[in-house]
Amino acid sequence: MLVDTKEMFKKAYEGGYAIGAFNVNNMELIQGIIAGVAEKKCAVILQVSKGAREYANAIYLKKLIEAAVEECPDIPIAMHLDHGADFDICKQCVDGGFTSVMIDGSHHDFEENVRLTKQVVEYAHSKGVVVEAELGKLEGVEDDVKVASGEGSYTDPDQAVEFVERTGVDSLAIAIGTSHGAFKFSGDPKLDFERLEVISSKLPKGYPLVLHGASTVIPEFVELCNQYGGDIPGAKGVPEAMISKAAKMAVCKVNIDTDLRLAMTGTIRKAFMDNPSNFDPRKYLGPARDAIKDMVMHKLDILGNVNTL
């Protein structure tokens, strides 16, 4: 069933787990994600970035997600816009049937972020759509999000309270040390759990927080990519134990994109090398789809989101 995130976040907060929010770009990704979610019996967020809309065409992605809803009518599925850059793209998605949108004004100053977020909230809420926003700035590169090292900023707890009160936003992505892309840490990984606890304690009880840039960049898949012709040395993600800890706190949604890319790309690279005479896309996209399913099931275990329907 196609739903918004209100009920799934409420259950996640009370149950001490987080909902997996998986970025989708094509059919195999959606099929692999839904297969994993169906086996783990839990709700899911399928999220679409601006880059995905440009690559696959927004109509095709919407229809693929609708196919997933039809195939698995008992699974709560939210269709979410990831990192909406302005009011116009959020409006397009609200009008186009999305059940949730993110307006990312984190690159603006505080007052402009408040103004822009409030504008999106007022329009989305009038159509029954929920809104996520971001306060604080994550470093790294992912699609159109590009923040250089040293230019990020952690979320200020007092500003978070003011921001939520003034905008009426339904959930808030915070910056506590995660970053976008496959190269998250040059030294020892560290997340500011004390900051997370303070933000949560200052906001109304049950208010859902969101963690972006939280892929764990599993070494096995980095090595798989590199073994079969890839060139991504030094990739390092957030340790799984840290993600599990955040999911037991007030984090109700964890974004996962890089790990899906690594699983799909590594599997396809291996298929090409193992059978260079093959030119049937089904013979390499099929195994890639299976790898996505396995990755999703692994992630759901980390998030604690298993048998939660």
| Residues marked as catalytic | 82
- Rounded Cα–Cα distance for residues 292 and 238 (Å): 19
CB 87 within 8 A of CB 104: no
- Rounded Cα–Cα distance for residues 169 and 20 (Å): 20
- Rounded Cα–Cα distance for residues 21 and 73 (Å): 18
CB 17 within 8 A of CB 211: no
CB 127 within 8 A of CB 98: no
